[in-house]
A and B are shown apart, each in its own frame.
Chain A
Amino acid sequence: MSNLAAAGEEPEILFWVGCAGAFDDRYKRVTRAFVRILEHVGVKYAVLGMEETCTGDPAKRAGNEFLFQMQAMQNITTFEGYGIKKIVTACPHCFNTIKNEYPALGGNYEVIHHSTFLQQLINEGRVGVAGGGEFKGQRITFHDSCYLGRANNIYEAPRDVLATLDADLVEMKRSKANGLCCGAGGAQMWKEPEPGKKDINVERTEEALAALDGNAAALDGLLGVESGNAGATPAPRNGQQRSIIAVSCPFCMTMMSDGVKNKERENNVQVFDLAELIATAEGLNA
């Protein structure tokens, strides 16, 4: 960003990478995939690089309002310094915080989550996955992240993005507004869960696997699913076929990947972010 500013140029969008996007090895791949898409469609974008700092979301959810506001003010000062107007991010937590909580502190921006941004690119025909590329016919289920879905009512954008892949999309029993948390929000990411019967991400992964395998019987083993819930059950598959859990949040990514490992299904179930799926289908992840 500082380079662009020095050159007297203004970017169309600021790509907010987020701490997970910058430091988490797995999510760095998503950051790179998203940048490849941006380069591919020729959007003029900038990143803050070392000038970026945590939005304060985990501090706020944990109750540390003071630390949150310190972070928020610092970021708002940076945004104002560069005259930022439009921010795109791949993290629903950064998205929610900047979009909803910064305005009361004086920071007003157009904030877009990358799922909505990708949806727009697809609608405009700037990204078109001809025939779905390598995902054609593969079974994919989307895990709604709480801070995208319930927190901000974004349910259709990620599904629209997945629809372009021409894959076999299936829904979990609990989805959209009824989706089950991956277990990481509210600063849970940084602490051990309280004692209980099961970890939340394991429960959620079991549900995802039941949907991917078309195994309705497996739902009975879940703790919170009321039996006899309406909803079509996908055709059964043999557990050996490759299938995908799609996410659009770095915390969900970690939680669902851990869940898949816990269930020892890494050999045939993969967790991908929307940006990775699109970049791969477009042949950009060379």
Chain B
Amino acid sequence: MISTRRIENGILTATTIVGALLWIFPLYWAFVTSIRSEERVVSEEAGLLPDEFNLSSYIDVILNTQLLNWYLNSIVTSVIITLVVIVSGMMCAYAISQMRFPGRRLLYGVVLASFMIPSQALVVTQFILMNSLGFINTWAGIILPQLIIPVVIIVYKQFFDAVPKEMREAVVLDGGGEYTLLFRIYLPLNWGITTALAIITFIMAWNQFLWPFLVVTTEDMMTIPVGITQVNDAFGVFYARLMSVALLGAMPVALAYLIFQKKVTEAVMISSGVKG
């Protein structure tokens, strides 16, 4: 009895591992392609295993495209978006959660409602707005419409609501104001959720395609996800180069994910309302 159970378990585990390896195969294949020469990529003998370690495609795309510019645009815009979204979201959530002021309920209602509004439906008028502000092809134009992530406020509010009132009273007795409370008590107490939200916001901002694609028309102002689609036009279809640029484009978020894996999982679970 026990042995059949064991065999069954073994088969299931093996199936999972094989499934996961098949699932990740496209990334493996992109890597193998990227370290081959273009001739090798399309030759008959090219097999499934990495048989060459040729970095010429990587060097070529770094030297002959605007990749470094795109990195710079992506880094600057994603970092600013993350900082502003987290700080302004935290402040707003703190006021809604801990303070009494007219319009508080209305504000929270608006936040909850805007959670459901697809920003994609607004791209036309957002573009018109950015155009009239003169922000087409600028970092400001890429950043501004991405600053509204209502879920950050919703998550922060839930966490601030759960902070014990006694901590608040102690600080107030010592003469501390609301800003002191927020930055010395509420923020440090919620440091975990702050980093989780920051990482997921950064990854989302980095990966954003539609909006940067619309608001940027010159190649030097593109972000990574938009810029790398130009490589196809620049080289024609050269797959080793395309896979090199794809992997270089994915590198920062892939590294961020691998380093902060636990935080990313945590953030995804929390921000979708399923607290683990």
- Say whether A and B bind each other: no
Instruction: Point out residues on A near B: beta carbons under 8 Å.
Output: none
Chain B positions within 8 Å of A, measured between CB atoms, are none
